[in-house]
Amino acid sequence: MCGIVGFTNDIENAGAVIGEMMDRIRHRGPDAEGKYVDADIALGHRRLSIIDVSSQGDQPIFNEDESLVIVFNGEIYNYRSIREKLEAAGHTFRTNTDTEVLIHGYEEYGEKLLAMLRGMFSFVIWNKNTRELFGARDFFGIKPMYYAEMKGTFMFGSEIKSFLPHPSFEKELNTSALENYLTFQYSPTNETFFKNVYKLPPAHYFKYKDGKLSVKRYWDVHFRADGKPSLDEWVDRISDTFHDSVEAHKIADVEVGSFLSSGVDSSYVAAIADVDKTFTVGFGKDEKYNEIGWAKNFSKAIGKENTSKVITPEEYWGSLSKIQYHMDEPLADPSAVALYFVCNIASEKLKVVLSGEGADEIFGGYNVYSDPDGTLYDKLPRVIRRGIGAAASKLPAKRGVNFFVRKGKDVEERFIGNAYMFTPEQRKELLRIETDAPDPIEITKPYFERVQNKDDVTKMQYLDLHLWMAGDILLKADKMSMANSLELRVPFLDKEVMRLAEQIPTKYRVTHDKGTDETKYITKYAMRLAARKDTPKESAKTAAKKKLGFPVPIRVWLKEDKYYSIVRSAFESESAAKYFNTEPLVRLLDDHKNGKADNSRKIWTVFSFLIWYKVYFENNGAY
């Protein structure tokens, strides 16, 4: 695991500039650094040594005649089998790294190499002869890749902050991203909060030559249910495939540990990974916010050592600027801070951890997936439900009313992912500025169109796999782990696991049959049964335990005078007044404090942006 950065070279002091850019992402690779600079290109690399920990693995790495040079961030789990094919084809290797397999693989297969890979990756290859850059990002977007073209310079990197030292970089807030963020709680498009800086989408590659950029998708998810296998057969297939994935994800020349919460995903990983150490964090003593006791008991049952930490409110609030700095873009997911701390305690003992991200999106684990067609009300004709929903939308919002409003809309109209903070009307009221941000439905529409003939559960999964998972779940997983120089691996997000999950019928992903003990699990049904099968009897009940998912008591804190005052000060600041109307901001906060509404997530969305803005636009990237 590493950090990469580079730019097309048209400056005299390229060596010094690439060095400064590398320093900005030193946390991604504190073990070693390397760079390559010529008249056309500057490439930089920071290394966290995991495979071939000797200096032979230092990057950049070249092919035999040094016409190709690569910088790479990630891990290729099947690199040994690909290497055997390349050696048979006549390629010679100088190292035992997966990096060198990539450069020889590209030399042999071109972009077709990408379909052969199993792993997480973000890499760029420079061809000295053709003067072309080739870059690619992994299937799910586990590893990040940003790029920008400014003043004739094309630059790329693992983190946007690495661009700040370059003399061609122009820092300007992208206000459209701000408006989108207010609805999604993250930046949902390929644009970023920095104007003219973009994300390379997951499962895409780019080519850059003579000032021209082309971007192309090379892989996608294709749900095609196979109704022939029985439920028991699917359970066995999941078990076999996931065991294989976990073994592949354990490939390393250093110790590997595992995160552990009370949910089935991380418990399943920890139970079958056979690692020695697990790591857990929580808040206070309330079981709603603290899974440490459960995690210690589970770790004991599987014979592993658990390291835990109780995060104090002071630690949580004191880390917010650092969190938003490392995130690069504002993210309003409160669990990001908890993830930072669990990464921190793990990094004190090892370099690599396994985690459970991706299981919900792949196997159908979110509670909202159990909503479509799940009640008798759904059996009413669509025209009746739409009429009732239209009438209900004119009433004050509350739980019962919201049910009828939601059921009166098609999934394409109401579902944008697991977070829906501010409606387009609410964000217009909140913002002082005008932007050209699209309606949320316009952002989600292309994804829904690709699965227009699928059922609603599959539609929601497909959308979450492409937006929510990449924009929120994997963003915080990469940035919080790398902030602590820790490699985080996600065995659910494996190409072979996804290939299997694509074929599982919806009824085995989400079931509404609650008649017996064997069918009481609504979401991730088949996967839960596989986890129950593979988990020791002493702790098999985890397959039924409701996941908390790094719960954070922000709704409680925001009612306390100390933290209420901190947020109110931010809402009434000059920075906030540049972009927001102060009165509705303060009203959100006061209504929450006075118990009129739970506005905690909306408040946190705006507050997180203001913290990020202060770091990057008032403190020039310092926290």
- Quick one: 167 exposed, middle or buried, by C-beta within 10 A (0-12, 13-18, 19+)? exposed
Given a contact cutoff of 8 angstroms between Cβ atoms, the answer to whether 86 and 108 are in contact is: yes
Peptide bond connecting 60 to the previous residue in cis, omega within 30 degrees of 0: yes
What's CA 543's distance to the chain center, in Å?
Answer: 24
What H or E segment, with its residue span, contains residue 563?
A: helix 561-571
Tokens of 564: 């209420």
- Quick one: 365 exposed, middle or buried, by C-beta within 10 A (0-12, 13-18, 19+)? buried
- Give how far Cα 532 sits from Cα of 155, 398, 525, 545, Å: 48, 37, 11, 11
Tokens of 114: 């990408």
Q: Phi and psi dihedrals of 188, rounded to 5?
A: -90, -10
Tokens of 599: 């506005």
Q: Is 2 a catalytic residue?
A: yes
Alpha helices in 153-291 (DSSP H): 175-184, 231-249, 264-273
3-state secondary structure 205-234: EEEEECCEEEEEECCCCCCCCCCCCCHHHH
| Alpha-carbon span 376 to 355, nearest angstrom | 38
What's CA 600's distance to the chain center, in Å?
Answer: 22
Q: What is the dihedral of CA 612, 614, 619, 623, to 10 degrees?
A: -50
- Give how far Cα 164 sits from Cα of 88, 167, 219, 617, Å: 44, 8, 32, 11
What's CA 457's distance to the chain center, in Å?
Answer: 21
Pairing of strands 32-37, 146-150: unpaired
| Alpha-carbon span 27 to 47, nearest angstrom | 9
Tokens of 148: 């920008």
> Given 1, 2, 70, 500, which residue is catalytic?
2
Q: Phi and psi dihedrals of 59, rounded to 5?
A: -115, 165
Given a contact cutoff of 8 angstroms between Cβ atoms, the answer to whether 111 and 206 are in contact is: no
Q: Phi and psi dihedrals of 45, rounded to 5?
A: -145, 135
Q: Phi and psi dihedrals of 52, rounded to 5?
A: 50, 70
- Give how far Cα 19 sits from Cα of 5, 14, 15, 513, Å: 10, 8, 6, 59
What H or E segment, with its residue span, contains residue 135?
A: strand 132-137
Question: DSSP assignment, residue 352?
Answer: E
**Any residues with CB less than 8 A from the CB of 269 and at least 6 apart, and which?**
246, 258, 259, 354, 355, 356, 491, 492
* Helix-helix angle 474-483:320-327, to 10 degrees: 110
Active site residues: 2
